[in-house]
Every structure is written in structure tokens, then in C-alpha cells.
Amino acid sequence: SAESALRRGGNGPSARRLFSSLSAPDRKVAVLGAAGGIGQPLALLMKLNPLVSSLALYDIAGTPGVAADVSHINTRAKVAGYAGEEQLGEALEGSDVVIIPAGVPRKPGMTRDDLFNINAGIVKSLCTAIAKYCPNAVVNMISNPVNSTVPIASEVFKKAGTYDERKLFGVTTLDVVRAKTFYAGKANIPAADVNVPVVGGHAGITILPLFSQATPASNDLSHEDIKALTKRTQDGGTEVVEAKAGKGSATLSMAYAGAIFADACLKGLNGTPDIVECSFVQSTITELPFFASKVRLGKNGVEEVLGLGPLSDYEKEGFENLKPELKASIEKGIKFANQN
């Protein structure tokens, strides 16, 4: 068997091949909204991830083309495209991780909450199908407004009797990616070496980067610099929306961030130790039912919601200021899910 070949200590190419397939169990990832601006590059990045054995690409239309294209890449994952609601069940069945970038993006002048009326219904129907076809999957919610779509998903799953709070994640990785990039640029440090936690939620002032905890620490940044970095991180999405001038919001950087987060979830499921990412999850670290913070990922999803750590006075102020807006967005999602 593969295992006994390994135990015999072979180290040639075939033993290496055996080892890599042994160490990476079969994992199915489904992307819902896979023909979209985020969905397509995210499909590409997930096809490149060696932890993925099966990649299901679902959208209301256009996925056969995306799937045919991506499927020609000579990596591990088997790719299949699914188009239209009648194929959603098949796309979801057996999924370990479901990534949801389905829904409309912002145009200049809009807030993420302005997307609620359209995206809330999309998320609700997709989550209803997840509860039916892959109730044990880890869900990575990208669709905006994340501060409301995650609570919607939780209510849908509760009603279906499938809710596992450890498996529902609002993807806030792009806020972390931005905070790292902007901090590295200002502090003149290589971006790849930087870490910055971002907590709270995923809209405007609810995005709270904790630059006081950034590593490596920089002594060169003034309070004014930190305020400017905070504002730029909070407005990062708007910066892209305005630059795209009506053609949508962040797609490429989001696909990158989504791929990082899904990879962390897969590593957690596979039992890789010490996988920590920031995410918007069910939480008791504040009085709000959901909050983004560092979480440790494991075989069942969230293994541990980590605390906020020490905050600077400026961050404490931001923390208090964000709570009313975040609370209202969470309540709006919960109310929608229970009324419609």
C-alpha cells in the first residue's frame, strides 16, 4: 500500500508522490458565483491549490466556460461547472468548503449596505441549498454586506437545524491584506514580513485595523500616520470602487484574499496546527453576537476565537464607535432572515 511503501523509507519520485497524496486528503471546494469578477480568478487560484481535489464552479450562467478553461490547468483538482438552480444541489453535494462571492458589487456613491436588498435574498437562497445538500460544509461568505449576510446565513442554518457556529465565516481577509500592504509601504518594510490583525466587521468604520499590534513594530510611524493608515484601510474598498468608476469593486485582490482564507480553512480541516486568520464569526468577545477577530482554525472550523489583545487609546475609541453600526447591520440581517 502507499503507507507501507512510505514506511519502507523510499524517497524516490514515486514515494514523494505517494506522500503528497497521503498528506492531502480529498477535499471538495464549491464556489458560488464562480463566473463573476471575484469568482473567476478565485476559481483559478483554487485550481492551483494542491489541497483541493474537487472544484465545483456554480453560477446562474457562464460556468461551463469558466470550468472548461480552468480544467485544462495541469494541477490536482478535478473541475466541474454547474449553471442554473437545478444544478446547485449537485454542485454542493460533498463539499467541504463553500465559498460565496455571489451577488452584486458596489458602484461609486454606494455603501455596502445599499447592496442589501439584492444580495440578502441571493445569500438566503444559496444558504438554504447549503443546509440541504452539504450541511457540514465550512462556509466562507464574501457577498456584501458581510456584516449582515453572515447573520442571514446563521438564521437560515438555524431554521434548517444545521447551524454549526464553528463553520460560518465572514471573509475579512481583504482588510488584513490591505492593512499589511499599506503599513508595509508606510513603514518601509517588505510587505511579505508584515502582520496586522483587523477586527470588528467589514464596512467603513466597523473595519478596525490594530496597527498597535502590527509586526514587525515600527517606531517611525506618528499618530497621524496611524490615523491615515486606519482610514485608508477602512476606505480601501471605496478606493477600488472609485478607481473602477462603475465597473464594480475589488475582484483580483479579493480573489487573492479569498484563496488565502479558504486555504487556511482547508489546512484547519486537515489538522495542520496553528492556523490563525482574522474572520467575522459568531463570538462572545464583545456583547455583539458576531465580531471579526483572530480565530484559530481546526478540524471542525473555528477551534478558538482569540481575544482582541491590548488596544491603544485610539483603537479603544474606534472599537467603541464601531459597535452601534455593526449591531444595526447584524440585526438587519437577522430580521430579514426571519421575515422573508
Contacts with ligand NAD, residue ranges (CB under 6 A): 32-33, 35-39, 59-60, 101-106, 115, 119, 122, 126, 142-144, 146, 171, 174, 202, 248-251, 254
- Partner whose footprint covers residue 102, from ligand LMR, ligand NAD, none (CB < 5 to 8 Å by kind): ligand NAD
- Helix residue ranges per DSSP H, 10-166: 13-23, 39-47, 63-71, 88-92, 116-133, 146-160
- In the complex, what is the shortest distance from the CB of residue 37 to ligand NAD, in angstroms, rounded to a whole number? 3
Choose, by CB under 6 A, the member of 249, 279, 283, 293 that binds ligand LMR.
Answer: 249
- Partner whose footprint covers residue 168, from ligand NAD, ligand LMR, none (CB < 5 to 8 Å by kind): none
C-alpha cell at 224: 497621524
- In the complex, what is the shortest distance from the CB of residue 67 to ligand NAD, in angstroms, rounded to a whole number? 13
Contact 104, 237 (CB under 8 A): no
Residue with cell 523510499: 10
* Beta pairing partners, 304: 296
d(CA 49, CA 170): 21
- In the complex, what is the shortest distance from the CB of residue 290 to ligand NAD, in angstroms, rounded to a whole number? 14
- In the complex, what is the shortest distance from the CB of residue 35 to ligand NAD, in angstroms, rounded to a whole number? 4
Residue 237 makes contact with ligand LMR by CB under 6 A: yes
Element (H, E) at 125: helix 116-133
Residue 32 makes contact with ligand LMR by CB under 6 A: no
d(CA 199, CA 209): 6
- Partner whose footprint covers residue 228, from ligand NAD, ligand LMR, none (CB < 5 to 8 Å by kind): none
Give 38 or 130: the residue with its C-beta nearer to ligand LMR: 38
C-alpha cell at 151: 447573520
List the catalytic residue out of 27, 124, 202, 327: 202
> Among residues 248, 247, 211, which one has the least CA distance to residue 231?
211
The one-letter amino acid at 86: E
d(CA 67, CA 86): 17
Query: b vs e for 222-245, b when ≥16 Cβ sit within 10 Å of the residue's Cβ?
Result: eeeebeebbebbbbbbbebbeebe
* x-or-dash string of contact with ligand LMR, 122-151, rule CB under 6 A: ----------------------x-------
- Partner whose footprint covers residue 241, from ligand LMR, ligand NAD, none (CB < 5 to 8 Å by kind): ligand LMR
Residue 223 among the catalytic residues: no
Instruction: Kindly list the catalytic residues.
Output: 202
